Structure 1
Protein backbone atom coordinates (compact mmCIF):
# COMPACT_ATOMS: atom_id res chain seq x y z
CA UNK A 1 0.00 0.00 0.00
CA UNK A 2 1.31 3.42 -0.93
CA UNK A 3 1.56 6.08 1.73
CA UNK A 4 1.66 3.75 4.73
CA UNK A 5 4.16 6.10 6.34
CA UNK A 6 2.74 9.46 5.23
CA UNK A 7 0.40 10.83 2.58
CA UNK A 8 0.76 14.37 1.27
CA UNK A 9 -1.99 16.07 -0.70
CA UNK A 10 -1.23 18.73 -3.31
CA UNK A 11 -3.66 21.33 -4.64
CA UNK A 12 -2.11 22.68 -7.83
CA UNK A 13 -3.13 24.72 -10.89
CA UNK A 14 -4.44 22.61 -13.74
CA UNK A 15 -1.47 23.72 -15.85
CA UNK A 16 1.24 22.83 -13.33
CA UNK A 17 3.55 20.13 -14.66
CA UNK A 18 6.43 20.53 -12.23
CA UNK A 19 5.41 20.23 -8.59
CA UNK A 20 4.32 16.58 -8.74
CA UNK A 21 7.50 15.30 -10.43
CA UNK A 22 9.69 17.32 -8.05
CA UNK A 23 8.08 16.06 -4.86
CA UNK A 24 7.94 12.50 -6.20
CA UNK A 25 11.66 12.66 -6.92
CA UNK A 26 12.46 13.04 -3.21
CA UNK A 27 9.68 11.15 -1.42
CA UNK A 28 11.13 8.61 1.02
CA UNK A 29 10.04 5.00 1.16
CA UNK A 30 6.52 4.65 2.52
CA UNK A 31 5.45 8.20 1.63
CA UNK A 32 3.22 9.23 -1.25
CA UNK A 33 1.87 12.42 -2.83
CA UNK A 34 -1.56 12.84 -4.42
CA UNK A 35 -2.72 15.88 -6.39
CA UNK A 36 -6.04 17.58 -7.05
CA UNK A 37 -6.18 20.38 -9.59
CA UNK A 38 -7.81 23.79 -9.63
CA UNK A 39 -8.53 25.83 -12.74
CA UNK A 40 -6.76 29.12 -13.40
CA UNK A 41 -8.28 31.22 -16.21
CA UNK A 42 -5.40 33.67 -16.60
CA UNK A 43 -2.21 34.68 -14.84
CA UNK A 44 -3.24 37.98 -13.30
CA UNK A 45 -4.53 38.93 -9.83
CA UNK A 46 -8.19 38.39 -10.76
CA UNK A 47 -7.44 35.02 -12.33
CA UNK A 48 -5.44 33.92 -9.30
CA UNK A 49 -8.28 34.80 -6.94
CA UNK A 50 -10.73 32.88 -9.13
CA UNK A 51 -8.39 29.90 -9.04
CA UNK A 52 -8.08 30.07 -5.26
CA UNK A 53 -11.87 29.90 -4.97
CA UNK A 54 -11.71 26.67 -6.98
CA UNK A 55 -9.18 25.33 -4.46
CA UNK A 56 -12.03 24.43 -2.12
CA UNK A 57 -13.50 22.10 -4.74
CA UNK A 58 -10.05 20.55 -5.16
CA UNK A 59 -9.76 20.26 -1.38
CA UNK A 60 -13.01 18.31 -1.29
CA UNK A 61 -11.40 15.78 -3.66
CA UNK A 62 -8.62 15.25 -1.12
CA UNK A 63 -10.90 15.02 1.90
CA UNK A 64 -11.11 11.22 1.73
CA UNK A 65 -7.35 10.83 1.30
CA UNK A 66 -6.73 10.84 5.06
CA UNK A 67 -3.66 12.93 4.32
CA UNK A 68 -1.05 13.85 6.89
CA UNK A 69 -0.46 17.25 5.26
CA UNK A 70 -1.90 19.22 2.35
CA UNK A 71 -0.11 21.89 0.30
CA UNK A 72 -1.80 24.69 -1.64
CA UNK A 73 0.77 24.48 -4.41
CA UNK A 74 0.56 27.84 -6.14
CA UNK A 75 2.83 30.56 -4.80
CA UNK A 76 1.23 33.57 -6.49
CA UNK A 77 -2.25 32.21 -5.85
CA UNK A 78 -1.60 32.27 -2.12
CA UNK A 79 0.19 35.62 -1.74
CA UNK A 80 -1.92 37.57 -4.27
CA UNK A 81 -4.37 38.85 -1.63
CA UNK A 82 -1.84 39.52 1.12
CA UNK A 83 -1.02 38.02 4.49
CA UNK A 84 -4.56 37.71 5.85
CA UNK A 85 -5.83 36.34 2.54
CA UNK A 86 -3.21 33.57 2.59
CA UNK A 87 -3.96 32.67 6.20
CA UNK A 88 -7.72 32.53 5.54
CA UNK A 89 -7.24 30.42 2.40
CA UNK A 90 -5.11 27.91 4.29
CA UNK A 91 -7.67 27.75 7.12
CA UNK A 92 -10.55 27.14 4.73
CA UNK A 93 -8.70 24.33 2.99
CA UNK A 94 -7.71 22.81 6.34
CA UNK A 95 -11.38 22.68 7.35
CA UNK A 96 -12.13 20.64 4.22
CA UNK A 97 -9.20 18.22 4.41
CA UNK A 98 -8.95 17.83 8.19
CA UNK A 99 -5.16 17.86 8.46
CA UNK A 100 -2.26 20.34 8.70
CA UNK A 101 -2.33 22.61 5.65
CA UNK A 102 0.16 25.08 4.24
CA UNK A 103 0.66 27.20 1.16
CA UNK A 104 3.71 27.54 -1.09
CA UNK A 105 4.16 31.19 -0.13
CA UNK A 106 3.67 30.46 3.57
CA UNK A 107 6.22 27.64 3.32
CA UNK A 108 8.62 30.11 1.72
CA UNK A 109 8.27 32.43 4.70
CA UNK A 110 8.79 29.52 7.13
CA UNK A 111 11.89 28.42 5.24
CA UNK A 112 13.46 31.88 5.15
CA UNK A 113 12.87 32.25 8.88
CA UNK A 114 14.38 28.84 9.55
CA UNK A 115 17.48 29.97 7.70
CA UNK A 116 17.61 33.16 9.77
CA UNK A 117 17.22 35.34 6.68
CA UNK A 118 15.46 38.68 6.88
CA UNK A 119 16.95 40.47 3.87
CA UNK A 120 15.93 38.55 0.77
CA UNK A 121 16.66 38.65 -2.94
CA UNK A 122 13.76 37.39 -5.06
CA UNK A 123 13.56 35.84 -8.52
CA UNK A 124 10.23 35.14 -10.24
CA UNK A 125 8.75 34.39 -13.67
CA UNK A 126 6.03 37.04 -13.10
CA UNK A 127 5.42 40.56 -14.32
CA UNK A 128 5.46 43.62 -12.04
CA UNK A 129 1.73 43.40 -11.28
CA UNK A 130 2.29 40.15 -9.40
CA UNK A 131 5.84 40.90 -8.24
CA UNK A 132 4.63 43.93 -6.28
CA UNK A 133 2.18 41.73 -4.39
CA UNK A 134 4.91 39.26 -3.50
CA UNK A 135 7.10 42.06 -2.15
CA UNK A 136 4.16 43.33 -0.07
CA UNK A 137 3.46 39.82 1.24
CA UNK A 138 7.05 39.43 2.36
CA UNK A 139 7.06 42.89 3.93
CA UNK A 140 3.98 41.93 5.96
CA UNK A 141 6.05 39.04 7.32
CA UNK A 142 8.95 41.35 8.20
CA UNK A 143 11.05 40.20 5.27
CA UNK A 144 12.95 42.94 3.44
CA UNK A 145 13.15 42.40 -0.33
CA UNK A 146 16.48 43.98 -1.27
CA UNK A 147 16.20 43.08 -4.96
CA UNK A 148 13.50 41.52 -7.11
CA UNK A 149 13.94 40.33 -10.69
CA UNK A 150 11.10 38.89 -12.77
CA UNK A 151 10.91 37.42 -16.25
CA UNK A 152 7.76 39.43 -16.97
CA UNK A 153 5.81 36.42 -18.17
CA UNK A 154 2.05 36.64 -18.51
CA UNK A 155 -0.28 34.46 -20.51
CA UNK A 156 -3.99 34.08 -21.12
CA UNK A 157 -4.05 30.51 -19.85
CA UNK A 158 -1.60 31.10 -17.07
CA UNK A 159 1.57 29.06 -17.32
CA UNK A 160 0.30 26.27 -19.55
CA UNK A 161 2.52 27.18 -22.52
CA UNK A 162 5.23 27.94 -19.98
CA UNK A 163 5.35 24.27 -19.10
CA UNK A 164 6.12 23.18 -22.66
CA UNK A 165 8.57 24.36 -25.27
CA UNK A 166 9.34 27.37 -27.28
CA UNK A 167 10.32 30.71 -25.76
CA UNK A 168 8.14 31.24 -22.67
CA UNK A 169 8.16 27.49 -22.03
CA UNK A 170 11.94 27.50 -21.87
CA UNK A 171 11.70 30.06 -19.08
CA UNK A 172 9.58 27.68 -17.03
CA UNK A 173 11.47 24.47 -17.55
CA UNK A 174 15.08 25.25 -18.40
CA UNK A 175 17.47 24.98 -15.47
CA UNK A 176 19.83 27.24 -17.39
CA UNK A 177 17.25 30.03 -17.52
CA UNK A 178 16.47 29.62 -13.81
CA UNK A 179 20.18 29.71 -13.00
CA UNK A 180 20.64 32.91 -14.99
CA UNK A 181 17.57 34.46 -13.38
CA UNK A 182 18.91 33.59 -9.93
CA UNK A 183 22.27 35.16 -10.70
CA UNK A 184 20.54 38.35 -11.87
CA UNK A 185 18.53 38.58 -8.65
CA UNK A 186 21.37 38.18 -6.15
CA UNK A 187 22.28 41.27 -4.13
CA UNK A 188 25.23 41.82 -1.75
CA UNK A 189 22.85 42.66 1.12
CA UNK A 190 20.70 39.54 0.66
CA UNK A 191 20.90 36.83 3.30
CA UNK A 192 19.01 34.34 1.10
CA UNK A 193 17.54 34.03 -2.38
CA UNK A 194 13.88 33.10 -2.89
CA UNK A 195 12.75 31.70 -6.26
CA UNK A 196 8.99 31.83 -6.66
CA UNK A 197 6.53 29.68 -8.68
CA UNK A 198 5.81 25.98 -8.25
CA UNK A 199 5.90 25.48 -12.03
CA UNK A 200 9.57 26.46 -12.25
CA UNK A 201 11.99 23.54 -12.31
CA UNK A 202 14.32 24.37 -9.44
CA UNK A 203 14.76 21.37 -7.17
CA UNK A 204 17.53 19.84 -9.26
CA UNK A 205 19.77 22.90 -9.08
CA UNK A 206 19.39 24.18 -5.51
CA UNK A 207 22.73 22.72 -4.42
CA UNK A 208 24.53 24.13 -7.48
CA UNK A 209 22.97 27.55 -6.98
CA UNK A 210 24.06 27.65 -3.35
CA UNK A 211 27.61 26.76 -4.36
CA UNK A 212 27.73 29.28 -7.21
CA UNK A 213 26.00 32.15 -5.42
CA UNK A 214 27.41 31.52 -1.91
CA UNK A 215 23.99 32.17 -0.38
CA UNK A 216 21.15 29.95 0.91
CA UNK A 217 18.49 29.33 -1.74
CA UNK A 218 14.78 28.79 -1.09
CA UNK A 219 12.44 27.84 -3.92
CA UNK A 220 8.67 27.43 -3.91
CA UNK A 221 8.71 23.66 -4.43
CA UNK A 222 11.70 23.03 -2.17
CA UNK A 223 10.13 25.02 0.69
CA UNK A 224 6.76 23.35 0.17
CA UNK A 225 8.33 19.89 0.27
CA UNK A 226 10.37 20.77 3.37
CA UNK A 227 7.32 22.18 5.18
CA UNK A 228 5.07 19.31 4.09
CA UNK A 229 7.57 16.72 5.32
CA UNK A 230 7.71 18.46 8.69
CA UNK A 231 3.90 18.75 8.92
CA UNK A 232 3.50 15.08 7.97
CA UNK A 233 6.02 13.94 10.56
CA UNK A 234 8.68 12.82 8.08
CA UNK A 235 12.20 13.29 9.41
CA UNK A 236 13.87 12.79 6.04
CA UNK A 237 16.04 15.60 4.66
CA UNK A 238 16.78 14.95 0.97
CA UNK A 239 20.06 16.39 -0.30
CA UNK A 240 18.09 18.21 -3.01
CA UNK A 241 16.70 20.56 -0.34
CA UNK A 242 20.14 22.14 0.10
CA UNK A 243 20.83 24.22 3.21
CA UNK A 244 17.16 24.20 4.12
CA UNK A 245 17.21 20.43 4.58
CA UNK A 246 19.54 20.86 7.55
CA UNK A 247 16.96 22.94 9.46
Structure 2
Protein backbone atom coordinates (compact mmCIF):
# COMPACT_ATOMS: atom_id res chain seq x y z
CA UNK A 1 0.00 0.00 0.00
CA UNK A 2 1.19 3.53 -0.73
CA UNK A 3 2.57 5.65 2.10
CA UNK A 4 1.90 9.10 0.59
CA UNK A 5 -1.37 10.30 -0.92
CA UNK A 6 -2.23 13.41 -2.91
CA UNK A 7 -5.61 14.77 -1.83
CA UNK A 8 -7.46 16.85 -4.43
CA UNK A 9 -10.36 19.15 -3.63
CA UNK A 10 -12.80 21.00 -5.86
CA UNK A 11 -13.84 24.03 -3.81
CA UNK A 12 -16.03 27.10 -4.31
CA UNK A 13 -13.91 30.19 -4.94
CA UNK A 14 -15.16 31.76 -1.68
CA UNK A 15 -14.55 28.65 0.43
CA UNK A 16 -11.80 29.22 3.00
CA UNK A 17 -12.56 26.23 5.25
CA UNK A 18 -12.08 22.91 3.48
CA UNK A 19 -8.46 23.64 2.58
CA UNK A 20 -7.98 24.08 6.33
CA UNK A 21 -10.21 21.39 7.84
CA UNK A 22 -9.32 18.41 5.62
CA UNK A 23 -5.56 19.00 6.15
CA UNK A 24 -6.22 19.39 9.88
CA UNK A 25 -8.06 16.06 10.03
CA UNK A 26 -5.50 14.17 7.96
CA UNK A 27 -2.62 15.90 9.75
CA UNK A 28 -4.01 14.58 13.03
CA UNK A 29 -4.24 11.12 11.47
CA UNK A 30 -0.54 11.30 10.63
CA UNK A 31 0.21 11.35 14.38
CA UNK A 32 -1.25 7.88 14.84
CA UNK A 33 -0.88 6.10 11.49
CA UNK A 34 1.98 5.98 8.97
CA UNK A 35 0.47 7.46 5.80
CA UNK A 36 1.20 11.08 4.82
CA UNK A 37 -0.78 13.48 2.66
CA UNK A 38 -0.38 16.55 0.47
CA UNK A 39 -3.24 18.83 -0.53
CA UNK A 40 -4.17 20.28 -3.91
CA UNK A 41 -7.21 22.37 -4.87
CA UNK A 42 -9.00 23.79 -7.88
CA UNK A 43 -11.66 26.47 -7.51
CA UNK A 44 -15.07 27.08 -9.09
CA UNK A 45 -16.61 30.54 -8.93
CA UNK A 46 -19.25 31.22 -6.22
CA UNK A 47 -19.72 34.13 -3.80
CA UNK A 48 -23.28 33.93 -2.50
CA UNK A 49 -25.07 30.75 -1.50
CA UNK A 50 -28.08 31.01 -3.78
CA UNK A 51 -29.58 28.29 -5.91
CA UNK A 52 -28.66 30.18 -9.10
CA UNK A 53 -25.00 30.67 -8.18
CA UNK A 54 -24.73 27.07 -6.98
CA UNK A 55 -26.00 25.71 -10.30
CA UNK A 56 -23.62 27.93 -12.28
CA UNK A 57 -20.74 26.86 -10.06
CA UNK A 58 -21.52 23.16 -10.44
CA UNK A 59 -21.22 23.49 -14.22
CA UNK A 60 -17.50 24.27 -13.84
CA UNK A 61 -16.67 21.22 -11.71
CA UNK A 62 -15.48 19.25 -14.74
CA UNK A 63 -12.75 21.80 -15.48
CA UNK A 64 -11.56 21.52 -11.86
CA UNK A 65 -11.37 17.74 -12.11
CA UNK A 66 -9.31 18.04 -15.30
CA UNK A 67 -6.87 20.36 -13.53
CA UNK A 68 -6.53 18.11 -10.49
CA UNK A 69 -6.08 14.95 -12.53
CA UNK A 70 -3.27 16.69 -14.41
CA UNK A 71 -1.49 16.51 -11.02
CA UNK A 72 -2.39 12.81 -10.71
CA UNK A 73 -4.00 13.19 -7.33
CA UNK A 74 -5.11 9.98 -5.63
CA UNK A 75 -8.64 11.14 -4.81
CA UNK A 76 -10.85 14.17 -5.45
CA UNK A 77 -13.40 15.62 -3.06
CA UNK A 78 -16.14 17.91 -4.37
CA UNK A 79 -16.36 20.27 -1.42
CA UNK A 80 -19.80 21.87 -1.59
CA UNK A 81 -22.67 19.91 -0.09
CA UNK A 82 -25.55 22.25 -0.92
CA UNK A 83 -24.51 22.69 -4.56
CA UNK A 84 -25.08 18.97 -5.06
CA UNK A 85 -28.20 18.67 -2.93
CA UNK A 86 -29.87 21.68 -4.58
CA UNK A 87 -29.70 19.88 -7.94
CA UNK A 88 -32.29 17.27 -6.97
CA UNK A 89 -32.64 13.92 -5.23
CA UNK A 90 -29.73 11.53 -5.67
CA UNK A 91 -27.66 13.99 -7.70
CA UNK A 92 -24.46 13.08 -5.83
CA UNK A 93 -24.42 9.74 -7.67
CA UNK A 94 -24.81 11.43 -11.05
CA UNK A 95 -22.15 14.01 -10.21
CA UNK A 96 -19.65 11.42 -9.00
CA UNK A 97 -20.21 9.33 -12.13
CA UNK A 98 -19.89 12.28 -14.52
CA UNK A 99 -16.78 13.66 -12.84
CA UNK A 100 -15.31 10.17 -12.78
CA UNK A 101 -15.71 10.05 -16.56
CA UNK A 102 -13.87 13.38 -16.83
CA UNK A 103 -11.02 11.91 -14.78
CA UNK A 104 -10.85 8.75 -16.90
CA UNK A 105 -10.83 10.84 -20.09
CA UNK A 106 -7.66 12.47 -18.73
CA UNK A 107 -6.09 9.01 -18.27
CA UNK A 108 -6.47 9.34 -14.51
CA UNK A 109 -9.22 7.06 -13.13
CA UNK A 110 -9.42 8.89 -9.83
CA UNK A 111 -12.07 8.17 -7.15
CA UNK A 112 -14.53 11.05 -6.75
CA UNK A 113 -16.18 11.84 -3.41
CA UNK A 114 -18.83 14.54 -3.01
CA UNK A 115 -19.42 16.05 0.42
CA UNK A 116 -23.14 15.42 -0.13
CA UNK A 117 -22.62 11.72 -0.74
CA UNK A 118 -20.06 11.61 2.06
CA UNK A 119 -22.54 12.95 4.61
CA UNK A 120 -25.01 10.23 3.67
CA UNK A 121 -22.26 7.60 3.79
CA UNK A 122 -21.14 8.79 7.22
CA UNK A 123 -24.66 8.83 8.63
CA UNK A 124 -25.27 5.31 7.37
CA UNK A 125 -21.96 4.14 8.82
CA UNK A 126 -23.20 5.35 12.22
CA UNK A 127 -26.56 3.64 11.72
CA UNK A 128 -28.43 6.97 11.72
CA UNK A 129 -32.10 6.93 10.83
CA UNK A 130 -33.15 10.12 12.63
CA UNK A 131 -31.01 13.26 12.70
CA UNK A 132 -31.10 16.95 13.48
CA UNK A 133 -29.08 19.38 11.37
CA UNK A 134 -27.54 22.82 11.77
CA UNK A 135 -26.89 24.82 8.61
CA UNK A 136 -25.80 28.36 7.75
CA UNK A 137 -28.19 28.41 4.78
CA UNK A 138 -31.32 30.39 4.11
CA UNK A 139 -34.38 28.35 5.12
CA UNK A 140 -35.37 27.30 1.57
CA UNK A 141 -31.92 25.74 1.01
CA UNK A 142 -32.05 24.03 4.40
CA UNK A 143 -35.38 22.53 3.41
CA UNK A 144 -33.73 21.20 0.23
CA UNK A 145 -30.98 19.59 2.30
CA UNK A 146 -33.54 18.03 4.65
CA UNK A 147 -35.58 16.73 1.72
CA UNK A 148 -32.46 15.28 0.09
CA UNK A 149 -31.57 13.37 3.26
CA UNK A 150 -35.11 12.11 3.64
CA UNK A 151 -35.06 10.80 0.05
CA UNK A 152 -32.07 8.76 1.20
CA UNK A 153 -34.09 7.29 4.07
CA UNK A 154 -32.74 9.57 6.82
CA UNK A 155 -35.44 11.44 8.72
CA UNK A 156 -34.62 15.05 9.64
CA UNK A 157 -36.29 15.57 13.01
CA UNK A 158 -35.20 19.20 13.43
CA UNK A 159 -33.26 21.78 11.41
CA UNK A 160 -31.70 25.08 12.48
CA UNK A 161 -30.96 27.62 9.70
CA UNK A 162 -28.63 30.54 10.47
CA UNK A 163 -29.74 32.28 7.23
CA UNK A 164 -26.32 33.55 6.13
CA UNK A 165 -26.16 34.09 2.38
CA UNK A 166 -22.62 35.53 2.14
CA UNK A 167 -20.26 32.55 1.91
CA UNK A 168 -17.30 34.47 3.34
CA UNK A 169 -19.35 35.33 6.41
CA UNK A 170 -20.09 31.63 6.84
CA UNK A 171 -16.38 30.80 6.74
CA UNK A 172 -15.58 33.48 9.33
CA UNK A 173 -17.73 31.91 12.05
CA UNK A 174 -16.24 30.63 15.31
CA UNK A 175 -16.58 26.83 15.21
CA UNK A 176 -17.19 26.70 18.96
CA UNK A 177 -20.38 28.73 18.45
CA UNK A 178 -21.86 25.41 17.32
CA UNK A 179 -21.68 24.16 20.91
CA UNK A 180 -24.23 26.79 21.98
CA UNK A 181 -26.26 26.34 18.81
CA UNK A 182 -26.58 22.62 19.53
CA UNK A 183 -28.70 23.56 22.55
CA UNK A 184 -31.24 25.15 20.21
CA UNK A 185 -31.88 22.06 18.12
CA UNK A 186 -33.63 18.86 19.13
CA UNK A 187 -31.30 16.13 20.34
CA UNK A 188 -33.80 13.80 22.01
CA UNK A 189 -34.92 10.88 19.89
CA UNK A 190 -32.19 11.29 17.28
CA UNK A 191 -29.28 9.04 16.35
CA UNK A 192 -26.82 11.68 15.11
CA UNK A 193 -26.49 15.47 15.18
CA UNK A 194 -25.12 17.09 12.00
CA UNK A 195 -23.18 20.19 13.03
CA UNK A 196 -22.84 21.42 10.43
CA UNK A 197 -24.34 20.39 7.09
CA UNK A 198 -22.03 22.79 5.25
CA UNK A 199 -18.35 22.40 4.44
CA UNK A 200 -17.76 26.16 4.63
CA UNK A 201 -18.98 26.57 8.23
CA UNK A 202 -16.05 25.67 10.51
CA UNK A 203 -17.00 22.76 12.73
CA UNK A 204 -14.16 20.55 13.84
CA UNK A 205 -13.39 22.13 17.21
CA UNK A 206 -17.03 21.69 18.24
CA UNK A 207 -17.60 18.01 17.44
CA UNK A 208 -16.12 16.39 20.54
CA UNK A 209 -17.50 19.06 22.94
CA UNK A 210 -21.01 18.64 21.51
CA UNK A 211 -20.77 14.86 21.87
CA UNK A 212 -19.69 15.26 25.50
CA UNK A 213 -22.58 17.67 26.21
CA UNK A 214 -25.33 15.75 24.43
CA UNK A 215 -24.17 12.15 24.46
CA UNK A 216 -25.14 12.06 20.77
CA UNK A 217 -22.68 11.16 17.98
CA UNK A 218 -21.97 14.40 16.14
CA UNK A 219 -20.66 14.81 12.59
CA UNK A 220 -20.10 17.58 10.11
CA UNK A 221 -19.94 17.61 6.35
CA UNK A 222 -16.16 17.99 6.66
CA UNK A 223 -15.65 15.07 9.06
CA UNK A 224 -17.80 12.84 6.84
CA UNK A 225 -15.88 13.95 3.74
CA UNK A 226 -12.61 12.92 5.37
CA UNK A 227 -14.20 9.60 6.39
CA UNK A 228 -15.38 8.96 2.82
CA UNK A 229 -12.03 9.94 1.27
CA UNK A 230 -10.05 7.66 3.56
CA UNK A 231 -12.50 4.82 3.01
CA UNK A 232 -12.30 5.23 -0.78
CA UNK A 233 -8.51 5.06 -0.56
CA UNK A 234 -8.72 1.83 1.42
CA UNK A 235 -7.27 3.48 4.52
CA UNK A 236 -8.43 3.26 8.12
CA UNK A 237 -10.85 6.24 8.50
CA UNK A 238 -9.38 7.43 11.79
CA UNK A 239 -8.48 10.89 13.11
CA UNK A 240 -8.77 11.24 16.90
CA UNK A 241 -10.58 14.27 18.27
CA UNK A 242 -13.07 14.88 15.47
CA UNK A 243 -16.16 13.06 16.64
CA UNK A 244 -17.58 9.57 16.42
CA UNK A 245 -17.24 9.07 12.67
CA UNK A 246 -13.42 9.33 12.82
CA UNK A 247 -12.88 7.87 16.28
CA UNK A 248 -10.42 4.96 16.48
CA UNK A 249 -12.03 1.56 16.95
CA UNK A 250 -8.96 0.40 18.86
CA UNK A 251 -6.33 2.17 21.02
CA UNK A 252 -3.64 3.92 19.01
CA UNK A 253 -0.32 5.13 20.37
CA UNK A 254 0.46 8.73 19.50
CA UNK A 255 3.57 9.19 17.41
CA UNK A 256 5.49 12.22 16.28
CA UNK A 257 4.00 13.74 13.10
CA UNK A 258 5.82 12.74 9.93
CA UNK A 259 8.11 15.48 8.54
Fold match by TM threshold 0.5? yes
Which residue is 1:80 aligned to? 86
Q: Secondary structure at the match of 1:175?
A: coil
Of 91-100 and 117-126, more deviation after overlay is shown by 91-100
Aligned-residue offset at 1:116: 0.6
Check the 8 A contact 1:238/1:245 in 2, yes or no.
Answer: yes
Structure 1 pair 120–198 and aligned structure 2 pair: CA distance change class (3 A): same
Aligned-residue offset at 1:42: 2.8
Which residue is 2:193 aligned to? 193
Check the 8 A contact 1:121/1:145 in 2, yes or no.
Answer: yes
Structure 2 CA distance for aligned equivalents of residues 161 and 8 of structure 1: 26
Which residue is 2:58 aligned to? 52
Aligned-residue offset at 1:4: 5.3
Aligned-residue offset at 1:65: 2.3
1:156-197 Cα distance to aligned partner (Å, 9 max, x none) = xxx02433xxxxx4xxx2123222222212331111011211
Which residue is 1:39 aligned to? 45
Instruction: Select 1:108's aligned residue among 109, 119, 144.
Output: 119
Gap runs ≥5 in structure 1: 164-168
Q: Report whether the alignment pairs 1:180 with 2:180.
A: yes
Which residue is 2:215 aligned to? 214
Aligned-residue offset at 1:99: 1.3
The Cα RMSD (Å) is 1.7
Check the 8 A contact 1:9/1:62 in 2, yes or no.
Answer: yes
Check the 8 A contact 1:74/1:197 in 2, yes or no.
Answer: yes
Q: Secondary structure at the match of 1:83?
A: coil
Q: Secondary structure at the match of 1:160?
A: helix
Q: How many residues align?
A: 234
Gap runs ≥5 in structure 2: 104-108, 250-259
Q: Secondary structure at the match of 1:238?
A: coil
Structure 2 CA distance for aligned equivalents of residues 209 and 161 of structure 1: 23
Aligned-residue offset at 1:102: 1.3
Structure 1 CA distance for aligned equivalents of residues 214 and 90 of structure 2: 33
Normalising by structure 2, what TM-score?
A: 0.85
Matches within 5 A, 1:150-169: 150-155=161-166, 159-163=167-171, 169=172
Structure 1 CA distance for aligned equivalents of residues 7 and 100 of structure 2: 13
Aligned-residue offset at 1:34: 1.1
Aligned-residue offset at 1:31: 1.6
Structure 2 CA distance for aligned equivalents of residues 210 and 31 of structure 1: 28
Check the 8 A contact 1:6/1:234 in 2, yes or no.
Answer: no
Which residue is 2:24 aligned to? 25
Structure 2 CA distance for aligned equivalents of residues 193 and 185 of structure 1: 9
